[in-house]
Amino acid sequence: MGTDQSHGRGSGLGLDRIVRTAVRLADVDGLETLSMRRVATALDAGVMSLYRHVPGKRQLVSLMVETVFGEIDYPDPGPAGWRARIEFSARREWTMYQRHPWVLSIVAGTSRPPLGPNVLANVEWVLRAVDGFGLDRATMTQVYFTVSDYVQGAALYVRNETEDERRTGVTAEQWWAAETATLARLLCSGRFPLVSGLFDQAASAPTLVVKDFEFGLRRVLDGLEVFLTQQRPRPGAAGAGAPTLEVTKFEKVTSIGGRSPSPAAATALELLGRRWTLELLFVLSHGEARFSDLVEAVPGVSRRVLTERLRQLADEGLLRRQVVTGPPTRISYTLTDRGAGLRGALAEIDAWAGNSSGPDDGR
């Protein structure tokens, strides 16, 4: 007990420090390995000193969830329009789950989540986005569940893949490479003509397991848009999501001659605007590269995000995954003819960046 007191006093041990240390441990090793003793060890404190600040692990986990939800910053007044507000919230929640995937085991698929001001702020933001459409409270809540279930489900997909890789030591890339022969035998049976169409390109990676968060989010919002435009707004409602205001604003933007990008161009710009995408295309524009080469060439990108971006680019027909069976199995990536069409633009960007002067160049 004397050790606990000496560590608990004079070392700056407090509830905030305890919670943030627990979050850091869960981020690295998962929630299942977290214990009061592990947190105490990380803090160089006696385990009993933690109980002076938090009764036990269950309460500690609730505080951890509240802390990470507090990382989501909701600006006031925030984006205009119901769709922009919900999209903002969904992306922020998705990003938080990528930083703290352990949260999903607490909040996803349950009707009994931890309750705190930061968790409720997430719910309130979505409800306010659709306030003014004349929806009853139960329907507004279903709108929230529809968005939240999609975000959490997509995040669970990524978390499960990360956990599988950590548990088995086998990446998704390696797993699919090992299963290529099995899949080929099934597809040659002729029973799955539509599935076979996904894997027509020789030596390309199976893309059946790819989950594109942005694509799914847009489709969820498209569905909500159809639903909400059929609702009758309350008289005099000033909600940001009133359909008459949003449609009018949309028509003003899209009526400006040829200035707006075509749907295809807008989709391409969204893809290219995702973090690390242009960097990967730039590296591949110089030639074939292995996964390890790309990890080294693009500092800061995690293996999980790199895998996701490569799959997205393959889905869009911009790159090709090539597998040479081993041992060892060799996986590399190269631009397709469509992807190679971006080489000129990437070279122009490189030249522009190299020749650009600072803001005080006198021009």
pLDDT at residue 237, rounded to an integer: 45
* 346 or 261, which is more confident: 346
pLDDT tens-place string over residues 156-174: 888 888 888 878 888 877 8
Which residues lie below 8 Å from residue 224, measured CB to CB, with a gap of 6+? 83, 86, 143, 146, 147
pLDDT tens-place string over residues 272-301: 877 778 888 989 988 899 888 888 888 777
Fold of 2-69: Arc Repressor Mutant, subunit A (1.10.10)
In whole numbers, what is the pLDDT of the chain averaged over residues?
78
d(CA 253, CA 255): 6
pLDDT tens-place string over residues 308-340: 788 888 878 888 888 776 666 678 899 998 888
Question: Of the given ranges (65-69, 205-209, 213-217, 283-287), which has the lowest mean pLDDT?
Answer: 205-209
* 264 or 137, which is more confident: 137
pLDDT band per the 50, 70, 90 thresholds, residue 13? confident
Residue 331 amino acid letter: I
pLDDT at residue 306, rounded to an integer: 83
Domain boundaries, the chain: 2-69, 82-170+211-252, 266-355
The answer to whether 316 and 272 are in contact (CB under 8 A) is no
pLDDT band per the 50, 70, 90 thresholds, residue 134? confident
CA 180 to mean position of chain CA atoms: 27
d(CA 43, CA 60): 15
Fold of 266-355: Arc Repressor Mutant, subunit A (1.10.10)
State the CATH architecture for 82-170+211-252. Orthogonal Bundle (1.10)
The half-sphere exposure of 107 on its side-chain side, counting CA atoms within 13 A, is 33
pLDDT at residue 240, rounded to an integer: 42
* 232 or 87, which is more confident: 87
pLDDT at residue 232, rounded to an integer: 58
pLDDT at residue 63, rounded to an integer: 93
pLDDT band per the 50, 70, 90 thresholds, residue 60? very high
pLDDT at residue 362, rounded to an integer: 46
pLDDT at residue 10, rounded to an integer: 36
pLDDT at residue 252, rounded to an integer: 39
pTM: 0.58
Give the rounded percent of residues in the chain with a pLDDT score beyond 90. 16
Q: Do domains 2-69 and 82-170+211-252 have the same CATH topology?
A: no
Average pLDDT on 187-210 reads 62
pLDDT tens-place string over residues 305-315: 788 788 888 87
